[in-house]
Copies of this chain bind each other. A is one copy, B any other.
Amino acid sequence: MSGMRVDAPIRLEAAMSAMMEAIDRQFDQLLTLPEDQRARLYEAMRHASIGGGKRLRPLLVKASCDLFNVGWDSAIRAGLAVECIHVYSLIHDDLPAMDNDDMRRGKPTVHKAYDEATAILAGDCLHDLAYAILVDERTHADPFARIELVKALALASGPAGMAGGQMMDLAAETMSFDLPMVTRMQQLKTGALIAFCVEAGAILARVPEENRVGLRDYAHDLGLAFQIADDLLDVEGDAAVTGKAVGKDAAAGKATFVSLMGVEQARAQAEMLVSQAKDHLHGFGDEAELLRDIADFAIRRSH
C-alpha cells in the first residue's frame, strides 16, 4: 500500500460515518409509513435501505462534489438517488430466481424478511424514487444539471449498465468467461454506477465533458480495483465480517478476476489500479483527498 497517506484511514472513517448517518436520515424521511395497505411495502424498503452498507456510492458522489465546491444538499440528494438504485439492485439480485441470497448486510434479505412479491415491488419503488429525487429542484436549481443526472443514471443503471451487467453475470454461470469478458461484465455491473458517482460532482458543477477525462479514468480504475477486491473477499473473507455468504462464486464454478489471475496476481493488479486511479487525479490538490482516500480503501477493506 505504498503512497497511502498516514492520516487517510481516520479521515475516511469520519467521512464515511457522517455519510452513513446522513443517508439513513434521508431514507427515514423519504420512507414515512403510509396509513394504508402499502405500509408493508414501505417497511420492506426501510428494511433494505436503512442501517446498512458502507454508503460508498454516496461517499463517492460527495468526494466528486468536493472537487468542484458543490454544496452538501446537492451532493447528499444525488448520493441518495444512487443509493436507491444500488439498494433496489441488491433486493432484486438477492431474489431466489437471481442469486438466491438469504443474508445481506448482516440481515435477512427482503424476500426472506417479507416475501418475494414485496421484494420485487420494494425494488421497483426505490428505482422510481431515485429519479424522483434527481429531478426535484432541491437537487439543483439548474434544470439542465438535473436532466443530465437523470440521463447519466438511467444509462448507468439500465441495459447498457448495471442491469445489463447482471444479465452477463447470470450467463457466466453456464458459459466460461475469459478475462476480457469478466472485465466487461464488471464494468457494466458495478463500474457504470461507480462512474456515475464519480462524475456526479462534475455534472452538478456543469463542468464541460472534455474536462472530465481524468475523473472518468479514475472511476474506471477504481471500479475494477473494487471488484477485484470483492472477488478476493469472496475467496478469503469471513461471512461474519462481510455480512453475506462467501465462497459463492467458486462454488458456482464462475470465472472471477481471482479464478482467472490467481490470488497473488489479482492483489497486485488491484494495487496497481488504485495507484493508477490516484495518478489520474494529479490535476487536483487537497480537494481530491477524499477520492484518494476512497481509492486506498478499495484494497484494504475487510467487507
Binding site for B on A (CB under 8 A): 34, 36-38, 40-42, 45, 92, 95, 97-98, 111, 115-121, 123-125, 127-129, 131-132, 135-136, 143-144, 146-147, 150-151, 154-155, 157-159, 163-164, 166-168, 170-172, 175, 181, 184-185
Give Cα A118–Cα B171 distance, bound, in whole angstroms: 10
17 A-B pairs besides A97-B117, A121-B166 with CB distance below 8 A are A37-B171, A37-B175, A41-B167, A45-B159, A95-B116, A97-B111, A97-B119, A118-B170, A124-B158, A125-B159, A125-B163, A129-B158, A131-B150, A132-B151, A132-B155, A135-B147, A143-B143
Give Cα A129–Cα B131 distance, bound, in whole angstroms: 12
Give Cα A184–Cα B143 distance, bound, in whole angstroms: 33
Q: Which residue of chain B has the shortest Cβ distance to A157 in the bound complex?
A: B128
- Whether the pair A129, B97 counts as a contact (CB closer than 8 A) is no
Taking CB atoms, residues of chain B closer than 8 Å to A115 are 97
Give Cα A95–Cα B98 distance, bound, in whole angstroms: 13
Majority SS at the chain A contact face: helix
Counting every copy of the chain, the complex holds 2
Q: Which residue of chain B has the shortest Cβ distance to A95 in the bound complex?
A: B120
- Whether the pair A92, B118 counts as a contact (CB closer than 8 A) is no
Taking CB atoms, residues of chain B closer than 8 Å to A127 are 124, 127-128
Taking CB atoms, residues of chain B closer than 8 Å to A119 are 97
Q: How far is the CB of A255 from chain B (nearest CB, A)?
A: 12
- Whether the pair B150, A135 counts as a contact (CB closer than 8 A) is yes
State whether A124 and B163 are in contact (beta carbons under 8 Å apart), knowing that A132-B155, A154-B129 are contacts in the complex: yes
Give Cα A81–Cα B129 distance, bound, in whole angstroms: 17
> A131, A172, A185 — which one has the most chain B CB atoms within 10 A of its CB?
A131
Q: Given B92, B98, B131, B159, which contacts A154 in the complex, CB threshold below 8 Å?
A: B131
Taking CB atoms, residues of chain B closer than 8 Å to A42 are 159
Q: How far is the CB of A162 from chain B (nearest CB, A)?
A: 9
Q: How far is the CB of A55 from chain B (nearest CB, A)?
A: 22
- Whether the pair B117, A170 counts as a contact (CB closer than 8 A) is yes
- Whether the pair A37, B168 counts as a contact (CB closer than 8 A) is yes
> A117, A128, A185 — which one has the most chain B CB atoms within 10 A of its CB?
A128
- Whether the pair A154, B168 counts as a contact (CB closer than 8 A) is no
State whether A121 and B163 are in contact (beta carbons under 8 Å apart), knowing that A127-B127, A143-B147 are contacts in the complex: yes
Taking CB atoms, residues of chain B closer than 8 Å to A185 are 37
Q: How far is the CB of A254 from chain B (nearest CB, A)?
A: 13
Q: How far is the CB of A165 from chain B (nearest CB, A)?
A: 9
Give Cα A116–Cα B129 distance, bound, in whole angstroms: 24
> A136, A146, A184 — which one has the most chain B CB atoms within 10 A of its CB?
A146
Q: Which residue of chain B has the shortest Cβ distance to A164 in the bound complex?
A: B38
State whether A163 and B98 are in contact (beta carbons under 8 Å apart), knowing that A36-B184, A40-B171 are contacts in the complex: no
Q: Which residue of chain B has the shortest Cβ distance to A45 in the bound complex?
A: B159
- Whether the pair A38, B154 counts as a contact (CB closer than 8 A) is no
Q: How far is the CB of A14 from chain B (nearest CB, A)?
A: 34
